[in-house]
Chains A and B, each alone.
Chain A
Amino acid sequence: MRLRKQKEENSNAPLIQLVDIHKIYKMGNEEVRANDGIDLVIDKGEFVAIVGKSGSGKSTIMNIIGALDVPTSGKYILKGKDVSKLRDNELAIIRNKTIGFIFQQYNLLKKSNLLANVELPLLYAGFSRRERKRAAMEALTKVGLEDKWRNFPNQLSGGQQQRGAVARALAGKPSLILADEPTGALDSKLGKELLDFLNELNEEGNTIVLITHDRSVAERAKRVVTIYDGKIVFDGNVDEYRKQVLA
């Protein structure tokens, strides 16, 4: 009974809840406060851009949101579960089941073909061979690369590789798509196409968090969070962001 109640609460809870996140690195004797008290709530279905210059701490907050790292202090609640104190293997499960990553450098495995690359998260999730292939082909179809599944990454253009990486992020039907400078290695035309596609995915109900240093990229999101010196200095919808930039 209690368990059911908790579950209901969880489904109403925000997808991401960051409470007073601090991340401190030690560089010799010097302490670097990469995240210095970040509070952020992201609901299901949002499209949020986290924008900041290099060194602002946006990569650190991305690593924490992506369960690649844990904060020095503070709470990170993902889908109602506190993940800020989890161990390596539990973080791996979170990354595998809950988060779909899109990296700047695509990060496809060079020695595997596109299908095997897209299947990779499903493999670690323990899907059967048939299930893997079905889900991977579905994701490839969604990005329009269904006839390229045999190709190796070096036989694909940059745009195709990034779409392949998007397919890999989608394959496991994650709760959150986390894109780290996804347009960084693409020219402006392909970059625009990719952002259009991310918009489409968001329209379909996917929650997307986009990390970028580029304001014009950030403006494609619905909500923008600006990070400066490890702190959130702006958090509002894209219209407010535009005004703030102009001002």
Chain B
Amino acid sequence: MRIIQAFKLAWQSILGSKMRSFLTMLGMIIGVGSVITLLGLMQGATNYLIDTFSEMGTNTLSVSVTNTDTRNVDVDEMYQLAEDNSKIFEGVTPSVSSKYTVKYESTSLSTSVKGVGEDYLTLNSLTLSSGRFISYADIKNRYNACVIGSYIVQELCGGSVSLGDTIRINGDIYKIVGVQQEQAGSEANSTDDCIYISYSNATRLAGSSDISSYTFITKDPEYVTVAETILDNYLYNVFKNEELYTISTSAELLDTINSITTILSSVLGGIAGISLLVAGVGIMNIMLVSVVERTKEIGIRKALGAKRSDIMWQFVIEAASISMLGGLIGIIIGYVATGSIGNIVGVEAAPTTNSIILAFGVSAAIGIGFGYMPASKASKLNPIDALRNE
């Protein structure tokens, strides 16, 4: 009852001096708006980063065997392992990657040559712009076929290439059977700066007969940890020594990204939070002025029977109302700003529920916290002195 009454009085007082109320709120509006906008944009940027890294394969595990002299696993065993756990694994492909000098007519450059299995294309959701990918027959027959990335087309072949042309990889003649669709703007060292050949040929190029690394793809990024355990158990059984093989996942990378963006969010949120504090001081200042201006009113109320707590409530609720109203407007502005700034910078950003709850909670708490001092001052006024005030 008392609180409802206090809200009514607060509302009257806010409407009674609209301009002043608005200016007092402005600090809170800007503070809450910027907290929501910054956190929303940060979340958008984080999502963007994670998505980008996911495309690069958060569901992949790389297995490499360090010492292949004593014990080894062969390709078929690995294919069998993936098939046995087909609920977890999408598939597996050997990958033997190395840097070689490649030559086309009279130009040459150095690029990464990947020896892969026939499933590599689909497993990594890559597409070709023309031709075909490395086939099972190529692998079996050790046929010198290659698929080249768009960067290679640009830089090595002068922008255009026809299927059936030949290039030399480390001196050997390879026939171009396919061209990979451009993926990363044909930049150097990107996924476009790459040549695929069969893994059988790649091992020969490397001068060894064994395949030392495999890429496993899981059905879902969430399965990565389970997959890691399966692979670890399997490989430990074979090698009996965990130093002979390594399993690496991109989950660790994702963790790092997450922790970095969390820190950045806290810093940005903290900076914006300072403006909330400043807004609180602004509200306190106005409330103090208001108490002085309304000394007479306080005196009348006290003479007619208002207790300290009645006056206290009246002023605290008024400060909290100004603060929360500013907070609400700030949320709306933050909502609009997050979306439109996100559009401009090209990040899909929306305010997070947490940031809205946080911003509103903080604005209410600041209103109450900073309203307390002026309210307490008002409640302690002596009615006689207050009545005498003009």
Chain A interface residues toward B at CB < 8 A: 63, 66, 68-69, 88-89, 92-93, 95-97, 101, 103, 107-109, 111-112, 120-121, 123-126, 168
Contacts and interface: CB of A to CB of B under 8 A. Distances in A.
B12 interface: yes
B86 interface: no
Contact of B305 (A107, A109, A112, A124): A124
Interface residues of B, number: 22
B303 A95 contact: yes
Q: Which 3 A-B pairs have the closest CB atoms?
A: A96-B305, A124-B305, A92-B307
A81 B85 CA distance: 89
A184 B16 CA distance: 30
Interface of B: 1, 5, 12-13, 16, 296-297, 299-310, 383-384, 387
11 contacts: A89-B307, A89-B308, A92-B307, A92-B308, A95-B303, A96-B304, A96-B306, A103-B387, A107-B296, A107-B300, A120-B304
Given A68-B384, A103-B387, A107-B387, A124 B303 contact: no
B384 A92 contact: no
A63 B384 CA distance: 8
Contacts of A111: 12-13, 16
A89 B308 CA distance: 7
Given A88-B308, A107-B300, A126-B1, 7 more contacts: A66-B303, A89-B309, A95-B303, A96-B304, A111-B13, A120-B301, A121-B305
Nearest to A128: B1
Contacts of B299: 107
Contacts of A101: 303-304
Contacts of A107: 296, 299-300, 303, 387
B305 A97 contact: yes
Contacts of A96: 304-306
Given A109-B297, A111-B16, A126-B1, A121 B304 contact: yes
A124 B300 contact: no
A25 to B, nearest CB: 11
Given A68-B384, A92-B302, A107-B387, A124 B297 contact: no
Contacts of B296: 107
B108 to A, nearest CB: 88
A125 B16 CA distance: 26
A108 B383 CA distance: 15
Nearest to B297: A109
A124 B306 contact: yes
A168 B384 contact: no
B384 A124 contact: no
A184 to B, nearest CB: 14
A123 B299 CA distance: 16
A111 B12 CA distance: 8
B305 A68 contact: no
Nearest to A116: B12
B304 A69 contact: no
B317 to A, nearest CB: 15
Contacts of A93: 305, 307
A125 B305 contact: yes
